[in-house]
Structures are given as structure tokens and as C-alpha cells.
Amino acid sequence: MSIPTNLKYANSHEWAHLAGDGLVTVGITDHAQEALGDVVVLDPPRVGRKVAAGEACAVVESVKAASDIHAPVSGEVVAFNEKAVSAPESLNQDAYGTWLFKMRPDNPTDLDRLLDATAYHSVAESDER
């Protein structure tokens, strides 16, 4: 299972990366895309939407199921990945290289509450049991 160490993780299987411009890039983990199976639809959040940490704000649909995507931190959605919307299978091909949306966090230090790679590995392993 691939879990990059430069990202933060939510228990709900989203990854987050704080960029130098202060924006947080959000995607789903490799574990999540594997559990979903072939992704066929991505319904992104609306740009300008204010979201709370843990709030469902997007949906990924696969041939198996639909799954809510949760905001890892509170803030405002400022962009979504149009390429991922038009080619949702890219999530299966490269979960960490395919971001879903970007947000301006209300408080960037909220990322400190998320899991590091080691802690997320434990969460993902317990899901597999």
C-alpha cells in the first residue's frame, strides 16, 4: 500500500497537502480508490462553497458504490480538478497524483490534527481486517 510521507491524512481516506501559496490540495488515498474499484464519476464541490472539517462536500462513484469525500479542514473551496471530472479513472491510475479540489483553509494549523503516514497506515490496515 502506497502512503506518501509528505501528505496528511483523514480517517475518512482523504489526503491533504498544504502548498506554499497557503492552499490545501485534497484527494483520495490509494487505499480508498482500491476499495472503491473502477471510478466512473466525480461530483466535485462548488467553487466558493464554505465547508467544515469532516463535512461531505464531493462524491466519487465507482462501479461498486458511491462514496462521500470529506473536507479535511474547514475553509473555502477555491478550485476543482476539471481533468479528474472528465477522466475520473485517473483516480485509479494515480490516486496521489490526481487531486480533487483545492481549498483556502480557515486555519492552516488545522492540518496538524490530521494523521501522518504512519498513523494513516494503521487506519488503512484496520479497514482491511
Q: Domains of the chain: which residue ranges?
A: 8-107
- Angle value at C-alpha 110, between 49 and 105, nearest 5 degrees: 30
Short-list 74, 67, 66, 98, CA closest to 85: 98
Q: How far is CA 121 from CA 50, 66, 98, 118, in A?
A: 29, 23, 20, 5
8-107 CATH fold:
OB fold (Dihydrolipoamide Acetyltransferase, E2P) (2.40.50)
pTM of this prediction exceeds 0.85: yes
Q: For residue range 65-81, what is the model confidence (pLDDT) as tens digits?
A: 999 999 999 999 999 99
Q: For residue range 78-122, what is the model confidence (pLDDT) as tens digits?
A: 999 999 999 999 999 999 999 999 999 999 999 999 999 999 999
Report helix, strand or coil for 1. coil
